[in-house]
Chains A and B, each alone.
Chain A
Amino acid sequence: MGFIELILRRKTLLFAVGILFSLVVISIFATYFVPYDPDALSLSDRLRPPSTAHLFGTDHFGRDIFSRTLVGTRVTFILGLSISAFALVFGVPLGVLSGYYDRVGMVLMRVIDAVMAFPAIILALALMAIMGKPGMVNVIIAVGMVWAPRMVRVVYSSTLSLRENTYVEAARALGASSGRILIRHIVVNLLSPVIVQSTFTFAFSIMEVAALNFLGVGIPPYIPSWGGMMNEGRTYIIRAPWIILFPGVFLALSVLSFNLLGDALRDRLDPKLRNIV
């Protein structure tokens, strides 16, 4: 059964992919079609409820929530993608080397274990505090460093089982170099666990960025991101609930879609993964 077929057969998956596709489109083109400049302050229009002029209402600076939510898609997706990429760039090489070379694994996995012993949000908090200045890059590094060890673990476990495979033994017996085996036989076969883990990293990381914003150390609040908007709007949850509602719905929908997608991919690509990821 092909992937497209799978998507079409399962309504929930169709829903998830549909949502994600629209969000990607929005994140690319939002700046061209939103009705207002998302950063334009208009203090005479503070805290206006949803109306035809402002579909999602306005916030305490009189900024248009609709425009900010749509443009915020891009920021949120850039964050999620960069954090996943960060986890990949560190996770895959370290995981493969640890899994393939026992000695490297011995040392590295101890360090990874030690880092993973710190609860995610506490580690991210400390890292944000260390870098001092809240900013996109710092958030990517902080949250990326929380999720990279988890990626290392997944890649490590997969590599361990891959290298015991008969075809790897065979390649080795035929005198293939370690480098060749690593790339041709192991890295290639890591694709499915890595993709699955990345979808979860994406989903968790955008939630975590929102939590960091809530705790006051996230990305600069004036950048339109869903987490940032929710954090700014939380003071107004009684007076102007629309400020927190709309970005919240977008955030929840995209996390939900990534989780659905990750689940489906995991079941489809490699049911054994359920115990690892």
Chain B
Amino acid sequence: MFSYIVRRAAGMVVSVLLVVTITFVLMQLIPGDPSSVLLGPNATPEQIEGLKRTWGLDQPIWVQFYKYFANFFHGNLGESIFFRQPVLRIIGQRAETSIFLGIMALMVVVGLGVPAGVIAAVRPNSWVDNSLLLLALAGASIPSFWLGLMLMVLFAGKLHLLPSSGYTSVIATGNIANLKNLVLPAFALGFVNAALVARTARSSMLDVLRVDYITTARAKGLRDSVVILKHALRNAAIPITTVISFTFASLISGAVVTENVFALPGVGSLIVQSVLKRDYPVIQGIMLVVAVLYVVINFVTDLTYAFLDPRIRYR
């Protein structure tokens, strides 16, 4: 077990180093530079050169790389060119929106996906099953920006039921009602992933429902609902939970589009704006934080599986 942990930990460190390097290389290759955006469309070359000097963008690449690497290991992701603030602080400011949006979207995913999957599995190949499956797949086939826009126009523009866009911090203002702003985006984002979860929930439920003890439970005369909820769903929970945890990663990706549609101040809209404004430090910072988080989560998941299933350690 110990040697396995060491091996995986070494692997993780390598992955992190690779992630850091890939990010730096990517940023170096980007044409267009922030000074022309910051100075406005009508800046002169001298002004642009001056700004580049101040930011060290005129130094040789290896100097920039060395500085960048050294800073990374000091937990310093640099300073945003536009906001003149540490990158980590800016990401921190934007994290709340993305985290709440993610949680609410996950609620949509679970709330729609699991029941749909269970209902479909109870009556496999019935019209209920088929139409739920088709609906789920259709949900996964609609571009989320389209769904988001339609929800916005309908529920905010026409019916005035929910706010159209924007979000103000719940933590800073203490006003829990601000979460209303996230309802439409959460639906737009969650619907797509609900389809995935519904499909997994259905197939795991089907697998479990065929197993002997379920048949036994049914034979004992337990009511269908008890069998399904108490016995089957509990046992199908493991694969469903796994898929839901994967879903969280795809929510991060989906949030990039959704946050832009609804003008939400999250990490997803931050990276798009930073890409368009060439705010290198922020782009690097977000890519790093998200990717390193992913690597670490993977590492922990691997360890958990290894702990649960000893066979894995010897691979």
**Complex: A in contact with B (CB within 8 Å):** yes
Distance to closest chain B CB from A277 (angstroms): 12
Once the chains bind, are A115 and B141 in contact (CB under 8 Å)? Answer: no
Nearest-neighbour CB distance to chain A for B155, whole angstroms, equals 14
If A115-B22, A130-B29 touch, does A122 touch B290 (CB 8 Å cutoff)? Answer: yes
Given contact pairs A110-B15, A111-B18, A119 touches B295 in the complex (Cβ within 8 A): no
CA distance A89 to B203 in the complex (A): 32
Q: Are A259 and B145 in contact (CB under 8 A)?
A: no
With contacts A114-B18, A210-B143, A256-B137 taken as known, whether A237 is within 8 angstroms of B271 at the C-beta atoms is no
Q: Is B43 located at the chain interface by the 8 A CB criterion? A: no
Known contacts A117-B291, A121-B253, A234-B149; A215 and B260 CB within 8 A of each other: yes
Q: Is the CB of A244 within 8 A of B137?
A: no
CB distance A214 to B22 under 8 Å? no
A120 contacts across to B, CB distance below 8 A? 253
Task: Check if A4 is an interface residue, CB within 8 A of chain B.
Answer: no
With an 8 A cutoff between CB atoms, is B150 at the interface?
yes
The answer to whether the Cβ of A255 comes within 8 Å of any Cβ in the partner chain is: yes
A residues 112-142 in Cβ contact with B at 8 Å: 113-115, 117-122, 125-127, 129-130, 132
B251-291 interface with A by 8 A CB criterion: 252-254, 256-257, 260, 271-272, 275-276, 283, 286-287, 290-291
B291 touches A114 (CB 8 A): yes
Q: Is A165 an interface residue (CB 8 A)?
A: no
Minimum C-beta distance from A217 to chain B (A): 8
A237 to B19 alpha-carbon distance, docked (Å):
40
A207 touches B252 (CB 8 A): no
* Cβ of A224 under 8 Å from chain B: no
By a CB distance below 8 angstroms, the chain A residues around B295 are 113-114, 117
- Residue in A118, A234, A260 whose beta carbon sits within 8 Å of that of B137 in the complex: A260
- Give CA–CA (A130, B275) in the complex, Å: 10
- Chain A residues with CB under 8 Å of B50's CB are none
Tell me the interface secondary structure of chain B in the complex: helix
B41, CB-defined interface residue at 8 Å: no
Q: Does B11 contact A (CB under 8 A)?
A: yes
Contact status A211-B15, CB under 8 Å: no
Query: What number of A-B contacts does a CB cutoff of 8 Å give?
Result: 127
Verify B253–A122 contact, CB threshold 8 A: yes
Name which residue of chain B comes closest to A248, CB basis. B146
Question: In the complex, what residues of A have CB within 8 A of residue B26's CB?
Answer: 126-127, 130
**Contact status B290-A118, CB under 8 Å:** yes
Q: In whole Å, how far is B97's beta carbon from the nearest beta carbon of chain A?
A: 17
* A120-B253, A132-B31 known; A126 vs B275 contact (CB < 8 Å): yes
> Does A18 lie at the interface of the complex (its beta carbon under 8 Å from any beta carbon of B)?
no
Contact (Cβ within 8 A) B257 A215:
yes
Q: Which residue of B lies closest to A111 (CB)?
A: B18
How far, in whole Å, are A251 and B141 apart by their CA atoms in the complex? 8
Q: How far is the CA of A12 from the CA of B136 in the complex (A)?
A: 13
Question: Which B residue sits closest to A107, measured CB to CB?
Answer: B14
B140 at the interface (CB under 8 A from A): yes
Q: Smallest CB–CB gap between A161 and chain B, Å?
A: 12
Q: A219 to chain B: which residues have CB within 8 Å?
A: none
In the complex, what's the smallest C-beta–C-beta distance from A234 to chain B, in angstroms?
A: 6
Given A117-B294, A119-B253, are A252 and B138 neighbors across the interface (CB < 8 Å)? yes
Contacts of A217 in B (CB 8 A): 275
Instruction: Report if B153 contacts A (CB, 8 A).
Output: yes
Given known contacts A118-B291, A252-B142, A260-B137, A110 and B14 CB-to-CB distance under 8 angstroms: yes
Q: Which residues of B202-253 have CB atoms within 8 Å of chain A's CB atoms?
A: 203, 249-250, 252-253
Q: Which residue of B lies closest to A245 (CB)?
A: B146
In the bound assembly, the distance between CA atoms of A260 and B292 in angstroms comes to 34
Determine the distance from Cα of A227 to Cα of B286 in the docked complex, in whole angstroms.
26
- Kindly state the separation between the CA atoms of A217 and B146 in the bound complex, as whole angstroms: 17
Instruction: Output the least CB separation between A252 and chain B (Å).
Output: 4
- Which B residues are in CB contact (< 8 Å) with A79? none
Smallest CB gap from A253: residue in B: B141
A230 at the interface (CB under 8 A from B): yes
B301: interface (CB < 8 Å): no
* Shortest Cβ distance from residue B213 to the other chain A in the assembled complex, whole angstroms: 23
User: Could you tell me the distance between the alpha carbons of A113 and B142 in the complex, rounded to whole angstroms?
Assistant: 29
User: How far is A130 from B149 in the complex, measured between Cα atoms in Å?
Assistant: 29
Q: Please name 27 pairs of A and B residues whose Cβ atoms are closer than 8 Å in the assembled complex, sorted by A.
A: A12-B130, A12-B133, A110-B14, A110-B15, A117-B19, A119-B249, A125-B272, A129-B30, A132-B31, A207-B143, A210-B143, A211-B145, A211-B257, A214-B143, A214-B260, A215-B256, A215-B257, A234-B145, A234-B149, A237-B150, A237-B153, A244-B149, A248-B143, A251-B141, A252-B141, A256-B141, A263-B199
| Chain B positions near chain A (C-beta within 8 angstroms) | 11, 14-15, 18-19, 22, 26-27, 29-32, 130, 133-134, 137-138, 140-146, 149-150, 153, 157, 199, 203, 249-250, 252-254, 256-257, 260, 271-272, 275-276, 283, 286-287, 290-292, 294-295, 298
14 new A-B contacts, CB < 8 A, other than A210-B143, A230-B146, A251-B141, are A115-B22, A119-B249, A121-B253, A122-B286, A122-B287, A125-B272, A125-B275, A126-B27, A211-B143, A216-B276, A227-B143, A234-B145, A244-B146, A244-B149
Query: Interface on A for B, CB 8 Å cutoff?
Result: 12, 110-111, 113-115, 117-122, 125-127, 129-130, 132, 203, 207, 210-211, 214-217, 227, 230, 234, 237-238, 244, 248, 251-253, 255-256, 259-260, 263, 274
- 4 closest Cβ pairs, A-B complex: A114-B18, A255-B141, A117-B291, A119-B253
